[in-house]
Amino acid sequence: MILITVWLIRNIWVELYRIPHNQMEESLLGGDNLFINKWSYGLRLPQTPIAVPFFQDSITGTKMKSYSSIPYFPYYRIFPKEVKRNDIIVFNRPDTKNLSIPIDRRKIAIGRCVGLPGDTVRMYNGHLYINRREIAQPPHAKESYLIPDSLEYKFQNILQQLKIADPGFETIKENRIRFFPKYQAAQIQSFYNTNNILIPIHLKRNNFTIILPRVDEPVQITPENINLIYPLLVIHEGRNIIKKGNHLFENGKKIYYSRFTQPYYWIMGDNREKATDSRIFGAVPHSHIIGKGSFICFSFDPQRPFYKALRHNRIFKTID
């Protein structure tokens, strides 16, 4: 009886999602356990209802699937509602890998909806524009900086004296890239009294322009949008389409326009530089949305011992 109750609660009402890292920076922290309202955008019925509770696609520590493919139900949503701008949503990642995995068993992610159907989303040198209007960065959002190898030793000394944790680095073309909020970067530059220790850089993923398709409206296929349109049509719309250069073909005929059967959204993390979001896996279809993040039930700091880890000030904290 208890298992049935748990199944009903998790599948048709609410669910907890644990934030694995600072994808959303100060809005949500690693270790936050978020309450997800599954009715916010209409209830998505389970596609694989027979499963081991609390496991996503496999049982931890094994290669065993956590769910049964029989029975399997197609995607269906009761009382569907569209996502609103700036909503924090939890969704199944629309990766092109492992397409054989049912939608409701794919990896779960979280992000903020910045782009709606019909919107023009543009990023230029890390600045975000929606329909030509610049969107301010969250105050604690991180930006990317290059630290010359010759200054690495001094850089580490500065971090120790300022008591700033080294965030680690990504290696891009043999260069070490670190990510800091602007205020921390200013502290470091001021301490060293030079602008040469942290060199701002702009990553390629932060320069693009896309127009999100509207539901059931014809979209012209152009060289500028084909890389966005093609995977949406094939993977999420189920169309048998072939791409040749900057052209699409269906049943041997070139297509110039296409329509879409569901809304697509552009999702980004508040921590724009380090977030895994639509810049990596593309627009998120409505079929992949689980629900809306409502509030934090409780939170544990993963960097502290368990008996000191509870963040009392985040219990039942609302999010925006």
DSSP string, 196-246: SSSEE---GGG-EEEEPPPBTS-EE--TTTHHHHHHIIIIIS---EEEETT
* Same structural domain, 187 and 94: no
| Per-residue model confidence (pLDDT) at position 195 | 66
Q: What is the pLDDT of residues 203-222, one digit of tens each?
A: 777 889 999 999 999 999 99
Judge if 10 and 110 occupy the same domain.
Answer: yes
Whether 20 contacts 30, CB under 8 Å: yes
How confident is the model over 36-59, as pLDDT tens digits? 999 999 999 999 988 887 788 888
Question: Cα–Cα distance between 127 and 202 in angstroms, integer?
Answer: 10
In a domain, 229, yes or no: no
82 & 146 share domain:
no
| Residues 59, 162 share a domain | no
The answer to whether 85 and 71 are in contact (CB under 8 A) is no
pLDDT at 176: 79
pLDDT of residue 265: 98
Q: What is the CATH number of the domain that holds 12?
A: 2.10.109.10
Count of structural domains within the chain: 2
Answer yes or no: are the C-beta atoms of 77 and 38 closer than 8 Å: no
Q: Which of 24, 79, 74, 66 is nearest to 291 (CA)?
A: 79
146 and 74 inside one domain: no
Which parts of the chain sit beneath pLDDT 70?
1-9, 11, 13-14, 21-26, 139, 174, 194-195
Residues above pLDDT 70, as percent of the chain: 92
Query: Does residue 135 sit within a domain?
Result: no
| 111 and 8 together in one domain | yes
Give the domain extent around 185. 142-205
